[in-house]
Amino acid sequence: MSATEELRADHVHVRRLEKIIFKCVEELEKGEKIPLSDITKMTIIISEFIDTIHHSREEDSYFPCVASHESLKEEIHKFLVEHEFGRRVARKISHHLKRLKNGEDAWENVTRYLKTYAVFLNDHLNKENKFFDDAEADVLTKEEEADMYEEYRSVFATVKKIEDMIKEIDFLESRPWNLK
């Protein structure tokens, strides 16, 4: 396996979460109730898997390696801006989720920011997948790919956290509101 393949594998699970969020939004817009614990799980996956693990892999290793070849720098800059946008939207979801937990009526805000985050994921992943194709085909060497992959897999706690986050996605996919 290569670093690019590992990041693509992450994207498969992020796409699963994207679909869950879109379904959650659809149900909320119909007036259905979604347990706050389920939305909390979504925010944890966003924070701990997408941002802390996946985006960190890209920002700390993959993007710098690609940029060291003087290639795709403009795309990398755009992705860094998009990652920050995603973080800001995620913070808004968490903020309004706390308001809900405190008894305030913030469902409209939570719904709106969840939808914004899901749209962001869809657009962002499409662009990154094209970027991965280009980087893999034209920029990165097999040795660089292998070295980054080994780096990704060398931190046992990260590998374990990814497994835990995938189980949380499995759980959310099985929720009654998501099966309607």
Question: Residue 173: enclosing H or E segment and its boundaries?
Answer: helix 156-173
- Given a cut of 90, whether residue 169 has pLDDT beyond it is yes
Residue 153's pLDDT is 87
Residue 156's pLDDT is 85
Residue 81's pLDDT is 98
Specify whether the CB–CB gap between 113 and 96 falls below 8 A.
yes
Q: What number is the average pLDDT over the span 103-120?
A: 98
- Given a cut of 90, whether residue 127 has pLDDT beyond it is yes
Mean of all residue pLDDT scores within the chain: 96
Residue 1's pLDDT is 87
Residue 23's pLDDT is 98
List, in order, residues 6 or more apart from 8 with CB less than 8 Å away. 129, 132
- Given a cut of 90, whether residue 180 has pLDDT beyond it is no
Q: What number is the average pLDDT over the span 72-100?
A: 97
- Given a cut of 90, whether residue 157 has pLDDT beyond it is no
Q: What number is the average pLDDT over the span 135-143?
A: 95
pLDDT tens column, 42-53: 999 999 999 999
Q: What number is the average pLDDT over the span 159-178?
A: 96
Q: What number is the average pLDDT over the span 154-175?
A: 94
Distance CA(63)–CA(74), nearest Å, equals 11
Using the Cα atoms of residue 27, residue 28, residue 32 and residue 37 in order, give the sign of their dihedral: positive
Q: What burial class does residue 15 get, using C-beta atoms within 10 Å of its C-beta: 0-12 exposed, 13-18 middle, 19+ buried?
A: middle
Residue 97's pLDDT is 98
Residue 178's pLDDT is 95
Residue 110's pLDDT is 98
Query: Reduced to 3 states, what is the DSSP secondary structure of residue 180?
Result: coil
